[in-house]
Amino acid sequence: MSGERGARRVTVTKTYKLFLGGGFPRSESGRSLSVVDRRGRVVAQVCRASRKDLREAVEAAARALPDWSRRDAYNRGQILYRMAEMLEARAGEMAELLALTVPGGLRRARRETAAAVDRLVHFAGWADKFPQVLGNANPVPGPYYNFTIPEPSGVTGVVAPAEEPLLALVSLLAPPLCAGCTIVALASPEHPLAASVLGEVCAVSDLPAGAVNLLSGRREELLPHLAGHREVIAIHAAGCSRAERRQLEEGTAGNLKRVRVVDLEAEAWYDEDECHSPWWIEPFVEMKTIWHPSAY
Amino acid sequence: MSRTKSPPEPAAAPGWDYAPAPETAPVEIASRYGHFIAGEFVPAADGAEFATINPATEEELSRVARGGAEDVERAVAAARRALPRWSRLPGRERAKYLFRIARRLQERARELAVLETLDGGKPIRESRDVDVPEAARHFFYHAGWADKLEFAFPGRRPKPVGVCGQIIPWNFPLLMAAWKLAPALACGNTVVLKPAETTPLTALRLAEILQECELPPGVVNIVTGDGETGAALAAHRGVRKIAFTGSTEVGKKLAAAVAGSRRRLTLELGGKSANIVCEDASLDQAVEGVIDAIFFNQGHVCCAGSRLLVQESILEEFLEKLDWRLRSLRVGDPLDKNTDVGAINSRAQLDRIRTYLRIGLEEGGRLHECHDQPLPAKGFWCRPCYFTNVQPADTLAREEVFGPVLAVMSFRTPEEAIARANNTPYGLAAGIWSDKGSRIFALAARLQAGVVWCNTYNRFDASSPFGGYKESGFGREGGRQGLRPYLELER
């Protein structure tokens, strides 16, 4: 039997989950958070990641690091470009989700999504160029061949702000990612749906599993553990209070993390002069200097 | 590849007798020195001072002001007053001061070398041939950057960060002062420098040189003292950037103190650097390089090659050659031009090294001293040595000794060498000895270290960035990359 003719079709609603190690698990804690739209209606549930989820995400990022960091720069560039292609294809869905919770409506959300695509394209292109801009040969005296090359720092924690939750997230993770770092990102707590869809973009972009991990949850619950984790060597954060900034920088005292906290107003995330630059990549690379004698 | 064993070397020590060859250039040392603040030498606000001694004789050389919070306050105030004019001075004019300083260092080179050796215990051969010429080179190199900074950072307008607090160690006192001061000044910053407690004299001689060069008062201020002086400097809110070279322990404390203050920090910290000798290496050259890597400056070198990894197939032959070479090292009077290994910098450091020697033996390591010539009766001495039977988890394989003590381990495959070399929280330097170019570059790419020396070790230059991965710190010193910590990059 096919049932009563003309019955209204029930839509299939999406379950938003974490993006961790290349898969979409729920939080091991079995907790979730309600996402509320601008009128105060609950529009979705997202996973509320726990400390243990964070640890697993860091482990996944650490496992992915040898593969991702040693890929050819050309390959990394193509994969970031693939992310841009996949995000462009989902631009409509992304903009609608953003418009649900972020003030400014669909028009603003479309602009943010387009800028996020462009940012991915920009850093896709840097992957095989930034070593030529940030590195160089050194004219040392004596019969030595001496050069300095940038290498990825390692597992990088990203903390996304409330404003421009997609564009800022992409702007914070693309520079270390294009350099060969792997990422554990905390989604904007106020607007987590963008990160959920970005996870779906990552999953179909040929990124190795664990190269990008995206966690939704409460910032105050996760931030101390991200700051204190010894496998995380760098942090790229925005929208932090003074106390959060201090907390992140105190993590430096544990394992000498490289911490960059960005202070940008909402509109500044669209400023390409500000955000399109190899100096956004430079904090997430280590300069390696190699000496070799030259002789017959 | 088969390797024929080289003929056995003479079993006995080489036993060459050298006549003493002391460096005799006289150096005047005042009986007391004050801080250098706003272009003048001034006593400590509370009159406190401390003695600095010659570690080779334990004799007092001079008495030096001990900086307290008030001295730091005065020095930072002087640096802040000097900042507007110095930072707005055209780069080409700032450059001329730095060129002058470089020239004056060259003109007073021998005096500085002797003073460095007296105060710190390092062989005159090293202070004369490395420390002082490299210090002059640093000022000369960075002088030229002062009017070219916009070319170093494409797409950005570089601006000075402000007053810099710089805290330097005792192992290369004048050279570290140059490493810190030259880029800071070239970038238009003013500075308060805190030299190490046991080696303040060459920094104070540098202050005289800055006076001779008519560097505007307050651009460089020098406050002498101990760890508390350094902590007061780092805690001062008027200091916008802190640069520290020293132990990882102190570096982490500084990081915690600076957290959340929006003040900048660069750290050049400890190391446990691996020196990897592959079976295809030129062995005599590698032995010489291993000696240089660990015994240069009594092993008081943050990037010392203190973990030797030798491929198993050549271990026995390599150690025979190492024994022979160790026996020929001359330990003693640092002012003697033939001396290879001078005095340990301080009694406290000698005690630390001896503690590590004891722990090394307790953990089952086998100590090889080889060197058996008599040591001077007075002063602080440690025979250069190495340990075998060291496991990766042992203290000597993990912790920085900062002395002439080498931990020897072996490996079978390059993969194993990389895993062992990277198995440390440190990441400052590494050495590779091999005659195969592709192997060298494959290893160099995989080693987590800021400096990788291939078929050489302990080479330094002002144009070559230096600094660590992981817990060896962050930021680079030298080269274009070394300018970055001293600049804000504006659009």
Structure token pair of residue A291: 């000496």
Mean pLDDT of A111-132: 98
Both B46 and B69 in one domain: the answer is: yes
User: Exposed (0-12), middle (13-18) or buried (19+): which is A161, by Cβ within 10 Å?
Assistant: buried
Both B192 and B278 in one domain: the answer is: no
pLDDT surpasses 60 at A123: yes
Which range of residues forms the domain containing residue B387? Answer: 274-454
Both B265 and B299 in one domain: the answer is: no
B333 part of a folded domain? yes
Please report, for the domain that includes residue B481, its CATH number: 3.40.605.10
pLDDT, tens digit, for every residue of B391-428? 999 999 999 999 999 999 999 999 999 999 999 999 99
Both B186 and B306 in one domain: the answer is: no
d(CA B443, CA B430): 10
Both B432 and B476 in one domain: the answer is: no
Please report, for the domain that includes residue B317, its CATH number: 3.40.309.10
The catalytic residue among B302, B303, B382, B385 is B302
Q: Which of B4-13, B57-66, B348-357, B436-445 has the lowest mean pLDDT?
A: B4-13
Query: Which pLDDT value is given to residue A3?
Result: 65
The catalytic residue among B49, B126, B197, B268 is B268
- Cβ atoms of residues A230 and A255 within 8 Å: yes
In this prediction, residue B372 has a pLDDT band, given cuts at 50, 70 and 90, of confident
- Nearest-Cα distance to chain B for A131, in Å, is 13
pLDDT surpasses 80 at A4: no
pLDDT surpasses 90 at B25: no
Both B279 and B380 in one domain: the answer is: yes
Q: Which chain A residue has the Cα nearest residue B485?
A: A283
B8 part of a folded domain? no
Owner of token pair 């729920």: A26
Of A136, A274, A279, the CB nearest to B480: A136
Mean pLDDT of A258-272: 95
Both B323 and B404 in one domain: the answer is: yes
Tell me whether residues B267 and A146 touch, CB distance under 8 A: no
Both B256 and B279 in one domain: the answer is: no
Query: Which pLDDT value is given to residue B20?
Result: 87
Alpha helices in B375-464 (DSSP H): 395-398, 414-422, 437-446
Asked about B213 being catalytic, the answer comes back as no
In this prediction, residue A1 has a pLDDT band, given cuts at 50, 70 and 90, of low
**In chain A, what are the domains?**
32-293 (3.40.605.10)
Query: Which pLDDT value is given to residue A2?
Result: 58
B188 part of a folded domain? yes
pLDDT, tens digit, for every residue of B430-461? 999 999 999 999 999 999 999 999 999 999 99
In this prediction, residue B370 has a pLDDT band, given cuts at 50, 70 and 90, of confident
Mean pLDDT of B68-74: 98
Mean pLDDT of B22-31: 92
Structure token pair of residue A133: 């801009």
Mean pLDDT of A12-22: 92
Query: Which pLDDT value is given to residue B297?
Result: 98
Tell me whether residues A250 and B259 touch, CB distance under 8 A: yes
Both B150 and B179 in one domain: the answer is: yes
Both B221 and B238 in one domain: the answer is: yes
In this prediction, residue B7 has a pLDDT band, given cuts at 50, 70 and 90, of very low
User: Exposed (0-12), middle (13-18) or buried (19+): which is A192, by Cβ within 10 Å?
Assistant: buried
What are the b/e assignments for B351-390, b being 16+ CB within 10 Å? ebbeebbeebeebebeebebbeeeeeeebbbbbbbbbbeb
Q: B-chain residues within 8 Å CB-CB of A142?
A: 459
Q: B-chain residues within 8 Å CB-CB of A293?
A: 454-456
Interface test with A, best of B456, B487, B490 (most A CBs within 10 A): B456
The number of folded domains in chain B is 2
Query: Which pLDDT value is given to residue A274?
Result: 94
pLDDT surpasses 90 at B13: no
Query: Which pLDDT value is given to residue A252?
Result: 82
Cβ neighbours around B413 below 10 Å, total: 10
B460 part of a folded domain? no
Structure token pair of residue A144: 């030595």
B4 part of a folded domain? no
Both B245 and B328 in one domain: the answer is: no
In this prediction, residue A7 has a pLDDT band, given cuts at 50, 70 and 90, of confident
Tell me whether residues A279 and B479 touch, CB distance under 8 A: no
Query: Which pLDDT value is given to residue B24?
Result: 85
Query: Which pLDDT value is given to residue A253?
Result: 84
**Closest listed residue to residue B349, CA positions, set B203, B171, B88:** B171
Q: What percent of chain A has pLDDT over 90?
A: 91
pLDDT, tens digit, for every residue of B356-368? 999 999 999 999 9
Asked about B382 being catalytic, the answer comes back as no
Mean pLDDT of A120-140: 98
What letter represents residue B29's amino acid?
Answer: I
Tell me whether residues A289 and B463 touch, CB distance under 8 A: no
Mean pLDDT of B146-155: 96
pLDDT surpasses 80 at B8: no
Bridge partners, residue B62, by sequence: B52
In this prediction, residue B18 has a pLDDT band, given cuts at 50, 70 and 90, of confident
Both B407 and B482 in one domain: the answer is: no
B299 part of a folded domain? yes
pLDDT surpasses 60 at B39: yes
Mean pLDDT of B52-61: 98
**Closest listed residue to residue A160, CA positions, set A133, A183, A129:** A183
pLDDT, tens digit, for every residue of A54-89? 999 999 999 999 999 999 999 999 999 999 999 999
Tell me whether residues B471 and A256 touch, CB distance under 8 A: yes
- Mean pLDDT score of chain B: 95
